[in-house]
Amino acid sequence: MSACDSALPPADSTDAADARLVALVAASQPSLRAYLHSLVRQSADVDDCLQETNVVLWRKRSEYDPARPFLAWACAIARLQALAHCKRVARRDHVPFDDELFARVAAAAAQHVENQEERLRALRQCLEALPPRYRQLVDQRYAAGKPVREMAHALELSAEAVSMALYRARKQLLECIQLRLARESQP
Amino acid sequence: MTNRDDSVPELPLGSPLGAPRSADEQLTGLLAAATEGEWSAEQSRQLDALLTAHPRLVEAYVAHVALHHVLAWELQTAGSEPPARLSPVAAAEAAASRGDRPVPSVYRSATTLAGWAVLAVCVTLMAMAWLNLPGSLSADDDIVAVLLESEDAVWSGEEFVLPFGMPVARGQRFQLQAGLARLALEAGAGFVVEGPADFTLLDGRQVLLQQGRLVAHVPEGADGFTVVTQTAEIVDFGTRFVATVDDGNATDVYVLEGEVEARPLWDAGRARRLTTDEAVRIGADDLQTPATVVAHDTLPEPPRLDQLLLYRPWDAARASLRLAADGPPAHTPPAGPYTAPDLKVNPAAADTIAHESFAEATTWPLPADSGWGFAPTAWQATPGYVSLLSPPRAWPLVDGAAARQVVALGGRAPGDPLLANRLSRRLADSQSGELWFRFFGCYEGLDDNDFFVLWFDHNARFDASHAGAPSVGIKQGRFLARIDKPHETYGPAAVDGQPFELVGRLSKQASRNYNRLVLWIDPRRGVDTPPDVATEFEPARGVGMITHIGIRLGQDTEADDRLLLGALWLGPTRQSLYPAEKDIQP
């Protein structure tokens, strides 16, 4: 465990504020992980970037304005970590780095994080409407946490077939979510 | 993101069968494969080209990735919170705005995946916060235990790691699906829990065990440690006992050493005093003496006394992984410039997968771009146990040149976690084909109960034993090669303080997993000889893809033992391990 490298706070420091920030950081992990995954892609790289993001969030905790949405601030920091990582990889592989594409993906991912409340509500309804066959697959993969290979073995299918079926299930959920959001936005 | 390819043509949509796939079809194929596993470099390049050529697909790509993560969180938490629950951040922000005590909700809903995933971060950050507070924690703090270590732990269905030395609060509940966890309690006792298990720290000397097996070690002065189950209360009067709660909620108690009192909750008057090798089974309304004897060697090892003594006198602020007492030794880096060999120029090494000579840096840790063929993250090392050294006088020439530096990995000090993982690194590209390796090493302080392995695995968890992964090393004074524990084969004896060169080949024989491993010890270059060690075994759950390599030392190594590691290579052929050699026959 690494200690924060900032100086010891005075005796009347905002311990409660620190604890609140810790709670917010902890609660933001799923959203930050999704955000970083869009940019960094490899699971191990996502883990590394998320760890680095958490450290920076802690180091810069005095800069956080509680009056502003936490996730927007956290994503901005995560974006910088992801950017640094992607540039390192590009340098290592001797390929140019596409700033424009990175910025587009980062913007789209940040938008998803901002809208997560509405999307979450829509997702819950859409899960109920998912065909039983797809719902079963989704439950096995996400609720039971079974790896695709294990599911494939149990279903006597190839891993590729199961991956594609899961993809179709997610696609159906996405279409349903978009439809519901569109309806909700109508006057 | 990879390179921008301005030459990507516009792809037609709705192409007829046999024609090039449409952009949407291409994205479908990529997302289906990559959401469930790792992106290959080629897939990542294809995605970049696709998103660049068709910016409208960026939204679809991001939406799909986001949904994948939201499903994981949402379905793992389903049923454990009120129906009107918010997302984690909204809940935390709402609590903050109400001025609620900012205890993360994970402490109250510790059965959720998201809860456990954020707990790992949360306690790390909270520990960072605590370490910043002047002085030790006050008596009002509700830290009652410390997680000493875990082994191959799977918490609530996910393989993330809770940090060693993590403070544990009163009332904190754990669901361990597999593996082991060792904890030290405030009152001085310690225990190990074997998954699947469900347990809660009631206070500094009481544990609620709802499911699973627990082995307690209660040293002198810590008696009174109590395990509470749904049917019984087990009070220890020293020193070791086993409590097991089965699926039917009956409690089995077995005394390894010392004395305990087992009290049925439904009738305290029928309490039983048990001494060494005595047992009792307490059901919902009955009490029996089991006929079967517990085999000691099947039991997980509880915390050792040296681990428990580490936290005496109890001070929660000291609950962190202890560094080596003297720190790494001083090292003067060799003088003169160092030019790393350009392996890509040498055609004999054109297909070398990875190489590290540990020669490029002046201090540990090495930079993230050290070596060749590794991911752009630095070597992960246990702080205080890894350092750079000048090679011993007996160190052999490596490909005709003197080694510049070696890495020294320290043994296990008293109080340390029993799993002494010391070093690991991720490969730039995952490997699933035949893999050759070569490295130079030397064990200083070798005796019969010392152990080290270089393992090849698909993760680099520091609490993992990697016992299920292929590995080579030294055990019981001999070189060994193993597909997994206990399927290992021993070779010639190793000599204390004598450098060695190991060359090996890891392969798959009609299997999806690596199941064959051969090893040469101090082979002569250019001379084809039978391997010194060979092992072949089809594991039930093997390793089919290698993403990381690492080194672990054994729990019985001594604090002043050192494993020296020199240069290492990975390649698809034997020839690729010798950059300066052109005529090695594979």
How high is the mean pLDDT in each 10-residue block of chain B (586 residues)?
34 38 81 69 86 89 89 67 44 52 30 35 42 31 80 66 72 86 91 93 92 92 89 89 87 92 90 91 89 77 83 50 39 55 49 86 77 84 83 84 87 81 88 94 93 90 83 95 87 95 94 92 87 87 88 89 93 84 40
Chain A residues with CB-CB distance to B75 below 8 A:
138-139, 142-143
Which among B33, B58, B125 has the least Cβ separation from residue A104? B58
A115 and chain B in contact, CB less than 8 A: no
User: Is A170 in contact with B71 (Cβ distance < 8 A)?
Assistant: yes
The reply to whether B493 touches chain A by the CB within 8 Å rule is no
Q: Note whether B48 contacts A98, CB cutoff 8 Å.
A: yes
List C-alpha distances in Å: B138 to A3, B103, B129: 19, 17, 14
Return the pLDDT at B7. Answer: 30
Minimum CA–CA partner of B93 in chain A: A24
Cα separation of B171 and B191, whole Å?
17
Q: Is the ipTM of this complex over 0.90?
A: no
Average pLDDT value for chain A: 82
Residues 55-84 of A with CB under 8 A from B: 58, 66, 69-71
Please choose, from the candidates B443, B442, B408, the residue with its C-alpha nearest in 3D space to the C-alpha of residue B331.
B408
DSSP code for B11: P
Q: Using the beta-carbon criterion (under 8 Å), do A145 and B133 form an inter-chain contact? A: no
Measured in angstroms, the CA of A4 and the nearest CA of chain B are apart by 6
For residue B335, what pLDDT is reported? 58
For residue B184, the one-letter residue type is A
pTM for the full model? Answer: 0.55
Longest alpha-carbon distance in chain A: 63
For residue B131, which residues of chain A lie inside 8 Å, CB to CB?
1, 3-4
Res. A7 pLDDT band, cuts 50 70 90? very low
**Distance (Å) from the C-alpha of residue B26 to the closest C-alpha of chain A?**
13
* Residues A66-108 pLDDT 10s: 888 888 899 999 999 999 888 888 877 777 788 889 999 999 9
Q: Do A43 and B95 touch (CB under 8 A)?
A: no
Does the distance separating the beta carbons of B72 and A30 come in below 8 Å? yes
Contact B569, B454 (CB under 8 A): no
pLDDT of residue B134: 24
Nearest residue of chain B to residue A124 (CA atoms): B74
> In whole angstroms, what is the distance from residue A113 CA to residue A74 CA?
11
Give A117→chain B minimum CA distance, Å: 7
Helices within A3-147 (DSSP H only): 15-27, 29-40, 43-59, 70-92, 99-114, 116-129, 132-138
Asked if the peptide bond before residue B239 counts as cis, ω within 30 degrees of 0, the response is yes
Give the model's pLDDT for residue B365: 75
Phi–psi pair at B285, nearest 5 degrees = -150, 20
CB < 8 Å to B104, chain A: 22-23, 26-27
Three-state SS at B442: strand
Q: Which residues in B lie closer than 8 A to residue A5 (C-beta atoms)? A: none
Length of chain B in terms of residues written: 586
> B26 Cβ partners below 8 Å, 6+ apart?
B11, B46, B50
Predicted pLDDT at A41: 84
Instruction: Name the minimum distance, in Å, from the CA of A187 to any CA of chain B.
Output: 24
Q: Would an 8 Å CB–CB cutoff place B430 in contact with chain A? A: no
Q: Which residues on B lie below 8 Å from A127 (Cβ)?
A: 74
